[in-house]
Amino acid sequence: MARNEELFEAVLKGKRKDVAALVQTEIDAGTNVESILMESMVPAMAEIGDRFSRNEAYVPEMLIAARAMQAGLDLLDPLLQEAGHKPIGKVAIGTVKGDLHDIGKNLVAMMLKGAGFEVMDLGVDCDVDKYKEAVGNGAQCVMLSALLTTTMPYMKEVVAGLEGSGAKVLIGGAPVTQDYANEIGADGYSDDANTAVHAAKAILGIAA
């Protein structure tokens, strides 16, 4: 049960204006900002992700929930930073070199933020150096996305380039499989946004 059931439902149903208004009301009332996030908003994103896994919700519902979540995060982020809030982990995500398809990548990034991660969104067409730079800036996990079979091989170059860096590598995208992840030496694989969150937690040893 969420601490603020109304806020939980607003995120779940993708009501951006309601989420912003409810978060502002909580802030004005002096509610602990971390509890607003972790006890009402994050559980709502976990619920929409679980519904997606059970085929009870679909990509559009996940997108509007994630955007509603972001409306609340825009208000909370500065206050969380002031309060010294620590994210559960720091990840970097981007589509690999040659691939400009970012819808899936964007959804995964929003779901990760909704789960409490700090997310470095590297954008599209990312080369090895861009991922290395992200690791240098503290990314514990690097997430590679590819929608085209022609760009998949570049994932192998990124995995090789990050060897010894200490960062974990998680791959995903329409043509990507667990077998391919095993073949190129990636640390993990995900086939949708919700399992990407669980996979990132698993490879970083974060409790589900």
Domain with CATH 3.40.50.280 in the chain: 90-204
- What are the φ/ψ torsions at residue 6 (nearest 5 degrees)? -65, -40
Beta strands in the chain (DSSP E): 90-96, 118-126, 141-145, 168-172, 188-190
pLDDT of residue 4: 87
90-204 maps to which CATH number?
A: 3.40.50.280
Residue 184's closest CA among 205, 206, 153, 162?
153
- pLDDT band, very low/low/confident/very high, at 208 (cuts 50, 70, 90): low
Between 127 and 58, the more confident residue is 127
Is residue 1's pLDDT more than 60?
no
Half-sphere exposure of 57 (CA within 13 A, CB side): 24
Pairing state between β 90-96 and 141-145: parallel
- pLDDT band, very low/low/confident/very high, at 83 (cuts 50, 70, 90): confident
- Assessment of whether the complete model's pTM goes beyond 0.95: no
Mean pLDDT, all residues of the chain: 92
Question: What is the DSSP code string of 137-194?
Answer: TT-SEEEEE--STTTTHHHHHHHHHTTTSS-EEEEE-TT--HHHHHHHT-SEEESSHH
Domain with CATH 1.10.1240.10 in the chain: 5-82
5-82 maps to which CATH number?
A: 1.10.1240.10
Among 77-86, 106-115, 138-147, 180-189, name the one with the lowest average pLDDT: 77-86
Residue 69, SS3 per DSSP: helix
pLDDT of residue 86: 86
- pLDDT band, very low/low/confident/very high, at 156 (cuts 50, 70, 90): very high
Is residue 173's pLDDT more than 70?
yes
pLDDT of residue 53: 84
Q: Mind listing the pLDDT tens digit for each residue in 86-133?
A: 889 999 999 999 999 888 898 899 889 888 899 999 999 999 999 999
